[in-house]
Amino acid sequence: MNRRATTIVFLLGFFLVQSFLEPSLRAQSAAAPNTQSVPDTQFSYAAQIPAVFVHNLIFIPVRINGGTPSLFELDTSAERTSIEPARSKELGLPIGSGGTVQNAQLTMAGLRLGLGALPVIARRNFAETTGQPAHGVLGRDFFDHAVVLVDYLRQTVQIFDPATYTYAGTGKSFPITGGPAPLIRAKGNISGHKGFEGEFEINTALDSAIVFYSSFTDSKQISSAHFKAISASYPELDEGSKILVGRIKDFQIGAYIVDEPVALFSQMNSISAGNGKVDGQIGGDFLRRFSIVFDFPHHRVFLDPNLQINHTAQEDMSGLSILAKGANLKTFEIVQVRPGTPAAEAGLKEGDVIVGVDDEAAADLSLSAIRDLFRQVGHEYKLLIDRHGQSLTITVKMRHMV
């Protein structure tokens, strides 16, 4: 499938969300206001949700008080479900003095979630770093009252009532602890260094595979001298501060071993790392190798490997950090060019705007699609660049850097 066809399929999937949800939601009667702080959940059936996957991030169509569907990100790291201020305004939702929408009813296929107070919280630079409009998140209070099955390979999401759910797959169960983000025990090896073991947050809102906190690497005396690494900047992580990127020998949860995953070594610590028990995060680029059941009500997850379990992940091969800007998130601005990379060697500069890739206009692409192109080793792309009003054509050839 070519890139234009992929874009069309993605857009069709988004607009089909409304038509998919209409029959079941019209049939649901308006629920009485809920003033409890604990979510009130009502399951009508075990539902498959028409989710939208943006690379490794997952978005669920949600109606608030019967309004237009919004795409809420599945975020196991968020303590509470929340809505963005701009989206709340677009939907005409009244915001109380406490910065919340009172008695909010969230409906999705097969489930109604009643929240006495829905927080209105802005996520900094979310739309720019993901290329996805910022609507809101489904956080830990949602996961604590539902069983959520995410099939990354088929790109489907199902939600079940925890009171009646029975696992019928072939995967393995693993206990989780902690909060708001769940912690799972994992271990691994770094070439030229002894093995490690620690507690890692499961973070569905992290696009990358594995992040190690500096408190962990410092305590284990792990440095870039132990593996090939490059300096990088990810606008969505550590507020764009420097991160080391490299491949570790392997990473393991139970009997499931992934060889040579890409790992990010952060210069910062987790907010929750003060207890000394949080060593890093496991994100979507690792989780995508499984069909995962998040059964937080019973303090467990089920992992069932899919065909991607041994697939070698590819990191960015251009050396560019790009943000999506403008009202429609179609202005792709280069915010960093890392020295010694293909982008730097080709002459790209910070502040350049990508207006076309090969013969395809940027307006027909998404930030996620461009990033996927730049993960293709050996591919050569002709970029049409706007540099302060001057049009340039610059050719960049992708190559391995980690």
* Omega before 342 within 30 of 0, i.e. cis: no
pLDDT at residue number 240: 57
Q: In terms of domains, do 189 and 140 share one?
A: no
Alpha-carbon 256 to chain mean position:
22
pLDDT at residue number 190: 85
184 is a domain residue: yes
Looking at 242, 271, 286, which one is the last position of a domain? 286
Q: In terms of domains, do 273 and 351 share one?
A: no
222 is a domain residue: yes
Looking at 139, 160, 181, which one is the last position of a domain? 160
pLDDT at residue number 376: 87
**What are the φ and ψ backbone dihedral angles of 271, each rounded to 5 degrees?**
-60, -35
pLDDT at residue number 6: 42
Looking at 160, 184, 206, which one is the last position of a domain? 160
Whether the CB-CB separation of 57 and 189 falls below 8 Å is answered with: no
pLDDT along the chain (402 residues), means of 10: 43 40 34 49 79 93 94 94 95 91 90 91 89 92 93 93 93 88 91 84 93 84 70 65 83 94 80 64 94 96 93 83 91 92 95 95 92 89 96 93 75
Q: In terms of domains, do 210 and 82 share one?
A: no
297 is a domain residue: no
245: domain CATH number is 2.40.70.10
pLDDT at residue number 285: 93
pLDDT at residue number 193: 74
Q: In terms of domains, do 182 and 152 share one?
A: no
Whether the CB-CB separation of 336 and 350 falls below 8 Å is answered with: yes
Number of domains in the chain: 3
166 is a domain residue: no
Q: What is the pTM of this model?
A: 0.84
Q: In terms of domains, do 138 and 264 share one?
A: no
Q: In terms of domains, do 34 and 136 share one?
A: yes
Q: In terms of domains, do 144 and 177 share one?
A: no
Q: In terms of domains, do 16 and 122 share one?
A: yes
Structural domain boundaries, residue 332: 320-397
Q: In terms of domains, do 13 and 117 share one?
A: yes
Q: What is the 3-state secondary structure (H, E, C) of the chain?
A: CCHHHHHHHHHHHHHHHHHHHHHHHHHCCCCCCCCCCCCEEEECCCEEECCEEECCEEEEEEEECCCCCEEEEECCCCCCCEECHHHHHHCCCCCCCCCEEEEEEEEECCEEEEEEEEEECCCCCHHHHHCCCCCEEECHHHHCCCEEEEECCCCEEEEECCCCCCCCCCCEEEECECCCCCEEEEEEECCCCCCEEEEEEECCCCCCCEEECHHHHHHCCCCHHHCCEEEEECCCCHHHCEEEEEECCEEEECCEEEECCEEEECCCCCHHHHHCCCCEEECHHHHCCEEEEEEHHHCEEEEEECCCCCCCCCCCCCCEEEEEECCCCCEEEEEEECCCCHHHHHCCCCCCEEEEECCEEHHHCCHHHHHHHCCCCCCEEEEEEEECCEEEEEEEECCCCC
339: domain CATH number is 2.30.42.10
